[in-house]
């Protein structure tokens, strides 16, 4: 029972604070001319719109950056080179003899 009373007092207190805040806010905004209200809406809209665009661009950039890091920073094992065997390779000395033999056949 005691906890219910504390909760109800807290609700009444918060409700009073909210009503006072909305009353004071309405009173402050009620003192503004229609042109100043319009400017206030434009300023806040511009600020919040710019913040939204910055957050959106930053998020898109970070997504692209993470994808690029995943794609380009993967380490691959070095493959062994497929060299020709010694029988298939041409030695410099053998090449000269081979050229000499072709010339003599013609």
Q: What are phi and psi of 2, to 5 degrees?
A: -65, -40
pLDDT in tens, the chain (106 residues): 678 888 888 888 899 888 988 888 888 888 888 899 899 999 999 999 999 999 999 999 988 887 777 666 666 666 766 665 555 555 555 554 444 555 555 4
Rounded to two decimals, what is the model's pTM? 0.44
pLDDT attached to residue 30: 82
DSSP 24-73: HHHHHHHTS-HHHHHHHHHHHHHHHHHHHHHHHHHHHHHHHHHHHHHHHS
pLDDT attached to residue 65: 81
């Amino acid at each position: 029972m005691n906890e219910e009373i504390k909760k109800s007092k807290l609700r009444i207190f918060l409700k009073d604070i909210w009503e006072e805040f909305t009353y004071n806010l309405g009173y402050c905004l009620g003192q503004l001319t229609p042109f100043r209200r319009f400017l206030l809406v434009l300023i806040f809209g511009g600020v919040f719109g710019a913040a939204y665009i910055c957050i959106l661009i930053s998020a898109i950039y970070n997504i692209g950056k993470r994808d690029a890091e995943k794609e380009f920073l993967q380490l691959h094992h070095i493959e062994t080179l497929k060299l020709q065997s010694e029988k298939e390779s041409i030695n410099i000395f053998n090449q000269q003899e081979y050229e000499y033999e072709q010339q003599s056949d013609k």
